Amino acid sequence: MCTLLTNSVEHSNELMRQLRNVTSLVVQSSISVPRKKNAFSYLCHPRKYPAGEAAIRALLASAQNPHVRAFYRDPSKAPAEFKENSRFTALQADVGSGSGIDFEGSDAVFYIPPPAMDGTDVEVFAKKSSDAIKSAIKASSTDKRLLVLSAIAAQNDHGIGVLRLNHLTDKFLASAADEVTVVRPCLFYHMWADAVRTAKQDSPSFVSTIHPADWRVPMVSVRDLGEWSAKQLLDDSKHPPLQTFKFYGPRLVSPNDVKRDLETIVGKEVSMTTIPPEKQAEFWAELVPQEYVQDFVEYQTCQLPGGVAVPDFVYDEHTVRANTELLEELRELAG
């Protein structure tokens, strides 16, 4: 059995759609196959945790035919496509309090920590939620593997803004199971969903918080991450006690690359505006509560020239290189 707890950082409006009301749903799903192997658990936001949903989708499509159990604060919020599958069951649990979290019968856990956006101190939240996961793993006689979805630069304890939650979670869960794997993507292609929408309008345009326009950062398809995560959860081979991977697409991506591909899709010129560092606070103030503005500015600028995340942009022996190209996913978003 595997357990997934999810948190992913999205872009501008898409990010805020994901973060608003984040406390209204917690999902834990587990998968099981014959001999009670490979169960999966998932905690998420009601409006979508794309990485978690992609992993569940890949698990349900696996030839190993695993069964997925998902734990929600409100089980009715489970996606219809999952509830229609006979190998999926939605149950009730709460990662914040630890109530209802039971990994017995599971071999693995996939955790994506939900962001703390309710005023709770981030360290208190990370410790409490991580302790709930550790306790459930310890109480299970079967759960031996933990996969944690983290984020780029989360090994740093400063200069990363909202990603500090990932830093703390990674630290607290480093020895939570016999085998712990931490995977760190940067940005997901679907962060450009709003750009695709506005590029299709009469006056095609989009805004990017990545600046300057030729600055390239790691991006990846959430589907690729979900499929890789499912394979990790279902893999019977022995893993090291602790391993960490970066997870990037086939190449780094710049706003200019996005503009080029959008123009290919819509067949006309698309206007682009990038937000320089000195304008980031003004930009984020329109999207998040004032007390979180600086955290989001720091999160964004850590990926810009001179930021603490930049040394992680290299592809090395600790990098998983996915296959899906930006243009392919933008076409899918365009419909």
Q: Give Rg (Cα) of the chain.
A: 19
**Using CA atoms, how far apart are residues 265 and 263, in angstroms rounded to an integer?**
5
Residue 68 forms part of a structural domain: yes
Residue 268 forms part of a structural domain: no
3-state secondary structure of 321: strand
Residue 267 forms part of a structural domain: no
Higher pLDDT, 133 or 3: 133
The pLDDT of residue 48: 52
What sign does the dihedral 230-231-237-240 (CA atoms) show? negative
| Percentage of the chain exceeding pLDDT 90 | 63
Task: Over range 41-50, report the average pLDDT.
Answer: 52
The pLDDT of residue 78: 84
pLDDT class of 40 with cuts at 50, 70, 90: low
Residue 288 forms part of a structural domain: no
pLDDT tens digit sequence for 109-126: 888 887 777 778 999 999
DSSP string, 278-310: GGHHHHHHTTS-GGGHHHHHHHHHTTSTT-TTG
The pLDDT of residue 243: 98
Computed over every residue of the chain, the mean pLDDT equals 85
Structural domain boundaries, residue 57: 4-189+221-248
Q: Which two tokens stand for residue 94?
A: 């709460």
Residue 233 forms part of a structural domain: yes
Q: Is 147 exposed, middle or buried (0-12, 13-18, 19+ CB in 10 A)?
A: buried
Nearest to 11, CA basis, from 228, 196, 150: 196
Residue 213 forms part of a structural domain: no
Residue 292 forms part of a structural domain: no
pLDDT at residue 81 is higher than 80:
yes
Higher pLDDT, 24 or 10: 10
**Using CA atoms, how far apart are residues 3 and 7, in angstroms rounded to an integer?**
13
CB within 8 Å of 5: residues ≥ 6 apart: 28, 41, 42, 43, 95, 109, 110, 111, 112, 113, 114, 129, 133, 148
Nearest to 133, CA basis, from 171, 177, 167, 165: 177
CATH number at residue 226: 3.40.50.720
What's the structural domain count of the chain? Answer: 1
pLDDT tens digit sequence for 196-247: 999 999 999 999 999 999 999 999 999 999 999 999 988 889 999 999 999 9
Residue 121 forms part of a structural domain: yes
Whether pTM exceeds 0.95: no
